[in-house]
Structure 1
Amino acid sequence: MAYQVAVEFLLAVKAANIRDPKFRDEAMRSAKSACLNTAEGAGRITRPDKARAFAIARGEAVEAVAAVEICALVGDVEESAAARCVAIAKHLVALLTALAR
C-alpha cells in the first residue's frame, strides 16, 4: 500500500511540471528516493532495518512536497497541481510514519 502511494506521489510531482529546473530536479529526485526507500523497507526483515528505510522514505517525501509547495508560492507550479501533491504526500507520510514505528 505505501509503495503504491509513493508511486502515485512521484507521478503527481512529475505531472506538476515545476518550471524551475533546480526545484524540479530536487523534487523528482526526492520523490524517486521516497519510492525506492519505501520498497527497500518492505524488503527488509528486521524491524529496525524496516523502520530506518521507512523513516528515510518519509524524509524524502517531505522534502519533495516542500519543493513543490515552495514553487507554488513563487508561481513556478499551478496551485491545483501543488494541492494534489500535498494531499498525496499527507497520506504517504502518515503511512510511512506508522511503518517507521
Structure 2
Amino acid sequence: MTDQNTNPRSVLSHHSLVAYQVAVEFLVAVKAANIRDAKLRDEAMRSAKSVCLNTAEGAGRVTRADKARAFAIARGEAIEAVAAVEIAGVVGDVDEEAVRRCVGLAQRVVGLLTRLVR
C-alpha cells in the first residue's frame, strides 16, 4: 500500500486527519498483538478496523452532527477493541508488551476522537 498521507495532492479528507493516522497505527498494533484466542482476535480486529472506517467516514461527512456521530462510533469501537486485547492479556492469550502498546494507542485515538465529537 502506498502512503497516501504524504501525497500533497490528495483531496481525501481522512488522509490529513491525525485521528485516522493513529487509528491505522492502532489497527496494525492490534494485528501484531497476535491474540491466540480466535474469538477475541476476531472481535479486536473487527473493532479496530471499524475505528479506521468510521474515522474516515466522519472526516468525509459534511454536517457537524453527521461528523460527530461517526467519530463517536469510532470512539466506541476503539474502546471495544482495546478491551478485547486487555481481556486476552488477562487470560494469557497475548503478551503484556502488546497489551501496553495497544492501550497506549487506544488512549491516543480515543482522546483525538473525543475532541472531534465535541
How many residues in Structure 1 have an aligned counterpart in Structure 2? 101
The one of the two structures with greater contact order (alpha-carbon pairs below 8 A, sep at least 6) is: 1
Residue 81 (1) aligns with residue 105 (2):
no
In the alignment, which residue of structure 2 is the partner of 1:10? Answer: 27
In the alignment, which residue of structure 2 is the partner of 1:64? Answer: 81
TM-score (norm 1): 0.99
Whole-Å separation in 2 of the counterparts to 1:50 and 1:95: 13
In the alignment, which residue of structure 2 is the partner of 1:41? Answer: 58
Please list the CA deviations of residues 2-57 of structure 1 after superposition, one character each: whole Å capped at 9, or x if unmatched: 00000000000000000000000000000000000000000001000000000000
Kindly report the root-mean-square deviation, in angstroms, between the aligned alpha carbons of the 2 structures.
Answer: 0.3
In the alignment, which residue of structure 1 is the partner of 2:113? Answer: 96
Which of structure 1's runs of 4+ aligned residues deviate more than 2 A? Answer: none
In the alignment, which residue of structure 2 is the partner of 1:27? Answer: 44
Aligned residues with identical type, % of pairs:
77
**More helix by percentage:** 1
